Chain A
Amino acid sequence: MVKYILKRLLLMVMVFLIIISICFVLVKLLPNKPAEQFGKDMALIEMRREALGYNKPILEQYVIFLRKSLLGFDWGVSESLYLGQDVWTKFMEKMPATVVVNMYTMIFAVPLGLLFGIYAALKKNRWQDHFISTAVIVFVSVPSYVYAFLVQYFLCFKLKWFPFQVKAGYDFLSWDMFVSMVPAIISLGFGTVAGLTRYTRAELTEVLTSDYLLLARTKGLSRAQTTVRHALRNAMVPIFPMILGEFVGIMSGSIIIEQIFGIPGVGPLYVASITAATPDYNFFMLLSAFYTLIGLLSGIIVDISYGFIDPRIRMGSKK
């Protein structure tokens, strides 16, 4: 097991380094010199670029980047979005908004998803199951921004229950902030609940038809007992890693939902860093590294957690 984890981690570091290198080279190939404009001191800009080392060959810049950013953890200063501010500080400042919104979503979505899934599995092929399954198909397929529009139109505009955009400020855990986040949470939650419901239902129905449950019933356990103690536990083996993966994924959040509801998170920052007239190298590199790392990590955590939850599964073994 330890060997397997080490192997996976090493491979991950390798993949990560290659991706970052590709991103670095590609983004450095872009022109990012500000256009000449009235009121801009081009000599000053040129001096700053010289000082930042933008005029050196790419390979040299790459070595500096590796040494400074990846090893020294200094990601530089912003050049166009927040001129002169430290990229890492700004990033950490934006992080809580993303995490808080997604955390709330998970807190509501996971129990609901499990509940619906279990209910549908227990009522298999009855109208309740058909109803839930149909709803799941719809909610899984329809893109989250469509719900976002509906939520914004009906709950925010017609009924005026919630504000259109998330409240400004940094008191992320306050009640007002929570209320203003509700539309975003609902829009994000639909998809998560539906996905989890579908998965739980599929796993649980499979377990419920297995022989050992019949044995448990015949030896005198009630239906509730067999479901909770035997079926659910075994069904959780594949479900739990999925939930874990989602939790890791919440760090990266949903860029589009953040954009729609004006959440001051990392998503809009990323979009801004690449759609800006002069691409912000440092933000782009930091956020690309961040998203890549999150993606790779969630894959590994899901794989490894299988082994911990169910000792019968031996990841990476030959058989």
Chain B
Amino acid sequence: MSEMKNLPKIPASEFAFVGDEGRLHDKKLETKPVGYFKDAMLRFSKNKSSVVAAYIILILVLYAIFVPIFCETSYSRSLTDTTYLMYTKLPPKVEGLGWLGMDGTSNVTLNVSDYNTLRAIAQETGLNPVVEIYRENYTDPTSSGKTTYYDVKVDNYYRMGMTYMTLTPAEFEAIQAWQDETGIQVIYPAITDSKQTDANIWYEANRKGVATLDSEGNFQPIYRTTTPTDTTYHSLRIAADNDPENPLSYARVTGTSAAPSYVVRVCKYNYFQYHYGFEPSFVFGTNDKGQDIFTRLAAGARFSFLLAISISFINLFIGAIYGAIEGYYGGAVDLVMERIADIVYGIPFMVVTTLFQLHLANKVGVVPALLFAFVTTGWIGMAARVRMQFYRFKGQEYILAARTLGASDWRLMFKHIFPNSLGTIITGSVLVIPGVIFSESSLTYLGIINLESSTMTSVGSMLANGKNYLSTDPYIIFFPALFIALLEVSFNLFGNGLRDAFNPSLRGVE
């Protein structure tokens, strides 16, 4: 106070207003404002692995959405078209990806009669199934020593060989017209029925199927011949068919004379070209029923995604309301509701699924029953998360202020507290998805639920299906397994990235 007295007296006229010339405004911010979500997105995009994971998820989702729409090779046609049943267990084949092992070949050990059959296919059709011979004509010392074996690399697409088909006259004509047009032979000469029933063996063979070769080591054909006047077949002929007096027969006519049908021997590979208009080559191969794994996996993935996302939403809805009420009111309400959650949580998930399957599956279908089972126990995690957030925020001053201003409970809960827990909720909802897909695939794999049908499949059923062919055709299980592994890893990375991004306490730490 003493210093005050020493201050010189300044007359009032000496003072002037600061900024008197106009009204004083707040300066407009030159940078853009960064809100909560924007900040989260900024920090998320700094997390490289999560961004990569997000892109992988995007690719998987796009695959699941668009592949079943655009590629209907054998998935959606499977109901009406039985042709695909012939093309079972073909390994993956992609033009230009042979170095990845996706060239449709496999290494096998054959006995002499099987090996002869492959050679005969090559000779007759010009499509050589034997790509490479590693070891030929050796005897297995552990067996009786009579049979000789061959270790070869075979092309499974050419190995399919021949099959018998019964055609109507119109189809028979259509194939012949197509043959004339493209120069690709589909129909091959018929075999003398009394000698051989296997469509692939067009040569003299003993009862075990071992070829009886002539003195020069060539196959001796047992083709059926016909009269030169037979005009039912007038298209391409094989090279050996050059005797105009005894032309080979290309079809066995059955049925009545008014409605004949033609039993013909067709090359499966070329028939595929005729039927579908392109050469067979399946990106992920075909399964034991001849269904294309690439499209079927996409359909299964789409189902799994839809199931997981709908469960995630329902869980979010129930869990948010339940958790909000628990957390907001606390006390006795909380205690009772927590015990209920405990009980529901305590029932093993498998018991729930099974009971729902057994009780409901006949009434509402397998998928809704599964959905109910997931929702029955699934909401608890979300409720617990929301409850925690409510406990954190409900005691804060701004809530007190809002309450003093007369905000209702409902408004406080969902307008003031709930948005604060949005980050955790979003993270939780995202992390539900891989969990659901994992549980679904485990349950289908165990055979508790059955989602496999001609129009529907899931990743789990594809795994369960492929396990029987693990040692012979591993690709059937490989691609679904790869898909689920990729999905789980990227979803977890993505979820972790989201969690860190939405956690405000980590701001500026990285």
Contacts and interface: CB of A to CB of B under 8 A. Distances in A.
A279 interface: yes
B438 interface: yes
B52 to A, nearest CB: 12
Interface in B220-277: none
A11 B467 CA distance: 43
A271 B485 CA distance: 24
Given A274-B354, A291-B351, A296-B346, A145 B445 contact: yes
Contacts, number: 92
Interface in B459-510: 463, 467, 470-471, 474, 477, 481, 484-485, 488-489, 491-493
A141 B489 CA distance: 5
Interface string B329-348: 00000000001001100111
Contacts of B109: none
A305 interface: no
A149 B348 contact: no
Interface string A115-141: 000000000000000000000011011
Report which residue of B351, B358, B474, B481 has the largest number of chain A beta carbons within 10 angstroms of its beta carbon: B351
Contacts of A224: none
Nearest to A31: B358
Interface in B153-181: none
B492 to A, nearest CB: 4
B447 interface: yes
Interface string B435-447: 0001001100111
Contacts of A179: none
B358 A142 contact: no
A157 B472 CA distance: 10
B350 interface: yes
Contact of B441 (A143, A275, A279): A143
A29 B359 contact: yes
Interface in B409-452: 434, 438, 441-442, 445-448
B343 A256 contact: no
Contacts of B474: 153
B355 interface: yes
Interface stretch (A17-25, A38-46, A86-94): A17-25
Interface in A262-308: 270-271, 274-275, 279, 288, 291-292, 295-296
A30 interface: yes
A15 B442 contact: no
Given A26-B355, A296-B346, A256 B447 contact: no
A29 B346 CA distance: 21
Contacts of A296: 346
A2 interface: no
B488 A142 contact: yes
B468 to A, nearest CB: 12
Nearest to B485: A142
B354 A145 contact: no
B489 A137 contact: yes
Contacts of B354: 274
Contacts of A187: none
A292 B348 contact: yes
Interface string B347-368: 1101100110011000000000
A216 interface: no
A315 interface: no
B467 A23 contact: no
Nearest to A140: B492
A61 interface: no
Contacts of B445: 145, 256, 259
A16 interface: yes
Interface of B: 339, 342-343, 346-348, 350-351, 354-355, 358-359, 434, 438, 441-442, 445-448, 463, 467, 470-471, 474, 477, 481, 484-485, 488-489, 491-493
16 contacts: A15-B339, A23-B351, A137-B493, A141-B485, A143-B442, A145-B441, A145-B463, A149-B463, A149-B477, A256-B446, A271-B446, A271-B447, A271-B448, A274-B448, A275-B448, A292-B351
Interface of A: 11, 15-16, 18-19, 22-23, 26-27, 29-30, 137-138, 140-143, 145-146, 149-150, 152-153, 157, 255-256, 259-260, 270-271, 274-275, 279, 288, 291-292, 295-296
Given A256-B442, A256-B446, A270-B350, 9 more contacts: A142-B484, A143-B442, A145-B441, A146-B481, A152-B470, A153-B471, A271-B446, A275-B447, A292-B346
